[in-house]
């Protein structure tokens, strides 16, 4: 038995993220799920463009390595030659990653975008012979166009996609609707495998949950319409404010509760004051996971106009969602059955859906129950983890063939 076999399997994640931002969003715990229930005995997570250089042992399995601005990216470091330094920047990153793969006997490499991280994974795989895969987590073109940036559609990033995706042994979009885009950008249809996001369902199914009146001061008797996520324009937060405005003109039995924060937080709070909506719109800010789950379970409606984990969690909590009919939402939101799908930016339909649920509590509960069953069937982490392990086994066979 060789040293690698004694130590067990290990994986390298290359992620365009930053530990401080993960802490702020309260999602660090997601990193600790990457070992897939013990399938990997060691998980190395590298953030190539972090705010500072550091190495953190999150636990005995998961190590986080961040490369900040102080990392010696450029091998030449010419003063006043920014473009040269920028073009040379990948070289020391690729070298560092390849050295890590060899030193730690890593078995699988996974990048979580098809751009720089995907390119690094390809390059390191070429240098080391270790198989790699790329997971796709969003419609990047749409996301960057919504927030006014061109990263997803710029020439450089289109070049990365067109180069890397056809050369990737396994492309793993997290949602079905992303498959067609991967095919259009050159991925081989036989090498695409959807890996749905998974969550632990126990906290959503337990009998007891915290009284959110004590947490948020919400008045008893008010029906909670909750938004959980990042307060950004791409999440249609302005449409939610408009919904609150419309509902406030005809009823006073509800509260719109924003949970989370983001770049639009200050502006939204100012807007709520200017529109005299402070009695019907509340901001809870970032909350611990157990509190968020309690809010989702207590909510009457989940406003997931654009949702990822928040939509899965709302459904798991048995809360009927209202979502825009975009991206992957149709996979969980079956219109009129598990919630409502409405046309993007259709405020009239959005308002009608909210009024229907508010006025029909029995039907709302039935939709929530169906949403919970569907979420458990599709996104229970015990199931989704098996899907990922199947993908990793395929990569390991490539290495040994």
Which residues have CB under 8 Å from 202's CB, separation 6+?
none
Check if the beta carbon of residue 345 is closer than 8 Å to that of residue 177: no
Residue 25 has pLDDT above 90, yes or no: no
Ranking 214-223, 333-342, 384-393 by mean pLDDT, the lowest is 214-223
Measured distance CA(9)–CA(396) in Å, rounded: 10
Output the pLDDT for position 85: 54
Ranking 40-44, 135-139, 179-183, 370-374 by mean pLDDT, the lowest is 135-139
Domains and CATH numbers, the chain: 3-198+381-400 (3.40.50.2000), 202-378 (3.40.50.2000)
Q: What average pLDDT does this structure show over 9-27?
A: 88
Burial 4-18, CB ≥16 within 10 A → b, else e? eeeeebbbbbbbebb
pLDDT digits (tens, 9 = 90+) for 102-127: 999 999 999 999 999 999 999 999 99
Helices in 10-68 by DSSP H: which ranges?
19-25
Measured distance CA(225)–CA(332) in Å, rounded: 19
CA dihedral over 223, 206, 310, 185, signed as positive or negative: negative
Residue 270 has pLDDT above 50, yes or no: yes
pTM of the model: 0.79
Q: Which two tokens stand for residue 285?
A: 């800010």
Phi first, then psi: give them for residue 34, nearest 5 degrees. Answer: -75, -10
pLDDT digits (tens, 9 = 90+) for 207-237: 555 555 555 555 557 899 999 999 999 899 9
Which residues have CB under 8 Å from 396's CB, separation 6+?
9, 107, 108, 131
pLDDT digits (tens, 9 = 90+) for 188-212: 999 999 999 888 888 777 655 555 5
Measured distance CA(98)–CA(129) in Å, rounded: 10
Output the pLDDT for position 1: 35
End-to-end CA distance of the chain: 19
Q: What average pLDDT does this structure show over 63-68?
A: 93
- Hunting for tokens 């458990």 — which residue is that? 376
In this prediction, residue 5 has a pLDDT band, given cuts at 50, 70 and 90, of very low
Which helix (H) or strand (E) segment is 145 a member of?
Answer: helix 140-146
pLDDT digits (tens, 9 = 90+) for 313-334: 999 999 999 999 998 999 999 9
């Amino acid at each position: 038995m060789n040293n690698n076999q004694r130590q067990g399997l290990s994986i390298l994640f290359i992620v365009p993220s930053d530990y401080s931002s993960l802490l702020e969003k309260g999602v660090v715990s997601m990193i600790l799920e990457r070992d897939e229930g013990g399938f990997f005995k060691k998980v190395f997570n590298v953030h190539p463009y972090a705010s500072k250089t550091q190495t953190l042992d999150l636990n005995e399995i998961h190590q986080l390595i961040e490369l900040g601005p102080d990392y010696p990216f450029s091998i030449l470091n010419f003063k006043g030659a920014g473009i040269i330094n920028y073009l040379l920047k990948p070289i020391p990153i690729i070298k560092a990653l390849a050295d890590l793969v060899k030193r730690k006997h890593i078995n699988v490499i996974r990048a979580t975008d098809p751009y720089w991280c995907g390119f690094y994974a390809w390059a390191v795989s070429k240098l080391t012979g270790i198989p790699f895969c790329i997971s796709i987590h969003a419609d990047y073109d749409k996301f960057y166009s919504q927030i006014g940036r061109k990263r997803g559609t710029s020439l450089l990033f289109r070049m990365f996609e067109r180069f890397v995706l056809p050369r990737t042994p396994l492309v793993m979009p997290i949602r079905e609707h992303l498959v067609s885009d991967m095919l259009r950008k050159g991925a081989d249809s036989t090498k695409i495998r959807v890996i749905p996001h998974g969550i632990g369902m126990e906290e959503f199914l337990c009998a007891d949950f915290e009284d959110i009146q004590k947490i948020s001061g919400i008045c008893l008797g008010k029906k909670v319409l909750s938004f959980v996520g990042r307060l950004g324009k791409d999440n249609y937060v302005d449409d939610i404010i408009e919904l609150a405005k419309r509902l406030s003109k005809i009823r006073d039995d509800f509260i719109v509760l924003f949970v989370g924060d983001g770049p639009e937080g200050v502006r939204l709070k100012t807007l709520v004051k200017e529109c005299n909506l402070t009695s019907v719109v509340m901001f809870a800010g970032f909350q611990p996971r157990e509190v968020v789950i309690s809010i989702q379970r207590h909510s009457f409606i989940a406003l997931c106009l654009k949702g990822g984990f928040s939509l899965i969690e709302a459904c798991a909590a048995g809360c009927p969602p209202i979502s825009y009919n975009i991206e992957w939402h149709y996979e969980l939101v079956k219109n009129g059955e598990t919630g409502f799908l409405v046309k993007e930016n259709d405020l009239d339909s959005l308002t009608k859906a909210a009024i229907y649920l508010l006025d029909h509590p029995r039907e709302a509960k039935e939709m929530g129950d169906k949403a919970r069953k569907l979420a458990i069937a599709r996104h229970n982490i015990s199931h989704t983890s098996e899907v990922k392990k199947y993908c990793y086994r395929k990569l390991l066979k490539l290495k040994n063939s």
